[in-house]
Amino acid sequence: MAKKEDTDKCCLCGRGESPARPLLTGRNGSVCAECVQQAYNLCKDAGFVADANSRNKKNMPDKWAIDFETLPRPTEIKSFLDQYVIGQDDAKRYLSVAVYNHYKRLLQPARSDDEVEIEKSNIILVGRTGTGKTLLARTIAKMLKVPFAIVDATVLTEAGYVGEDVESLLVRLLQATDYDVEAAQRGIVFIDEIDKIARKGDNPSITRDVSGEGVQQGLLKLLEGSVVNVPPQGGRKHPEQKMISIDTKNILFICGGAFEGIERKIAMRLNTHVVGYNNDAAAQVDRENLLQYIAPQDLRSFGLIPEIIGRLPILTHLEPLDRDALRRILTEPRNSIIRQYEKLFDIDGVKLTFDDEVLDYVVDMAIQYKLGARGLRSIVETIMIDAMYEVPASGVKKMHITRQYAAEKFERTSRLHIS
pLDDT digits (tens, 9 = 90+) for 275-286: 555 555 555 777
Taking CA atoms, 219 is separated from 4, 153, 170, 194, 309, in Å, by 60, 10, 11, 11, 11
pLDDT tens digit string along 222-246? 898 888 888 776 655 555 567 888 9
Overall average pLDDT of the 128-143 stretch: 85
Domain endpoint, select from 298, 317, 336: 317
Same domain, 128 and 204: yes
Q: Does residue 301 lie in a domain region?
A: yes
Same domain, 301 and 333: no
Q: Helix, strand, coil proportions of the chain in percent (round to 5)?
A: 50, 15, 40
Residue 9: how many CB atoms within 10 A of its CB? Answer: 16
The set of residues, in sequence order, having a beta carbon less than 8 Å from that of 308 and lying 6+ positions away, is 216, 219, 220, 223
Same domain, 235 and 303: yes
* Contact (CB, 8 A) for 94 and 123: yes
Rounded to an integer, what distance in angstroms lies between the CA atom of residue 419 and that of residue 412?
11
Same domain, 303 and 344: no
Q: In the predicted model, is pLDDT for residue 80 greater than 70?
A: yes
pTM over the 0.75 mark: no
Q: Does residue 64 lie in a domain region?
A: no
Rounded to an integer, what distance in angstroms lies between the CA atom of residue 389 and that of residue 399?
13
Domain endpoint, select from 317, 348, 378: 317
Same domain, 313 and 341: no
Q: Does residue 56 lie in a domain region?
A: no
State the DSSP H helix or E strand holding residue 228, giving kind and residue range, or none if neither.
strand 227-230
Tally of domains within the chain: 3
Calculate the CA 80 to chain-centre distance: 19
The set of residues, in sequence order, having a beta carbon less than 8 Å from that of 394 and lying 6+ positions away, is none
Same domain, 333 and 394: yes
Domain that holds residue 357: 323-418
Q: Which phi and psi angles does 183 have, rounded to 5°?
A: -70, -40
* Confidence at 114, pLDDT banded by 50, 70, 90: low
Rounded to an integer, what distance in angstroms lies between the CA atom of residue 130 and that of residue 34?
51
Domain endpoint, select from 279, 297, 317: 317
